[in-house]
Amino acid sequence: MPAIYQADNWCDSCADKIKGDLRAAAGKGGFDFNPGDERTYDSDQYPKYAGDDEESDTPQHCASGAGCLEAEELPDGTRIGAIFGKLTEVGIAYVVEVVKGGGMVAHFWRKHYEAEGYDFDLPDECPIEHAVRSWGDKGYDVQEAISTLATLKSDCASLLSSLQRLLAHVGDACFTAGRLHTEESCSVCASRAAIIKAKGIIDVQN
């Protein structure tokens, strides 16, 4: 069950750690409130537990982020705070727009909320998009991606969108580092080259 403390949301485990830290800091003098009775204190003083069914306009993650004791791990090893709560209608619309833009967090949100029973009215992944997603889940291997994509027919209108999502996975490092990049030195440049080559192979097959 998540908790609220100093205007942030925390997972159960992190909230318990905060409580332990606060008790240790208070020492023998204790508190001027009863930590066992939430009616005697404010959430700025001590964590207050909230229901798992609280709705919000955006996905709620534990404020501990990568250091969360119940962190979720994305395919590339990135850790994000535990997710909890439900979505308002505004929240549902927000997630749909983010998912359309692609990326690992977006895919994580989609899987999580669809497992919770949400219907985002989004198209299923086509075979090519599934291949791209599997590549990301296993780690980025350019040659394997080329081989996999080249065996699939381009009979899905979302091919271009799928490939763009792949770029969202690998990021924009080559545009921000401020130096010359090559396919041999930059995984992003290599990925872009792989996409161009794979698209060419598929076009020839069709």
Question: CB–CB of 170/192 below 8 Å?
Answer: no
pLDDT reported for residue 66: 93
pLDDT (0 to 100) of residue 129? 58
**3-state DSSP assignment of residue 93:** helix
Residue 199 CB partners (closer than 8 Å, separation 6+): 159, 163
Side chain identity at 99, as an amino acid letter? V
Read off the pTM.
0.63
Digit-coded pLDDT (tens) for 73-132: 987 788 999 999 999 999 999 999 888 877 778 889 999 999 999 988 887 765 555 555
Taking phi first (over 0 means left), then psi (-120 to 50 degrees means alpha), and beta for anything else, what does residue 83 get? Answer: beta
Digit-coded pLDDT (tens) for 134-144 = 555 555 555 55
Q: What's the residue count for the chain? A: 206
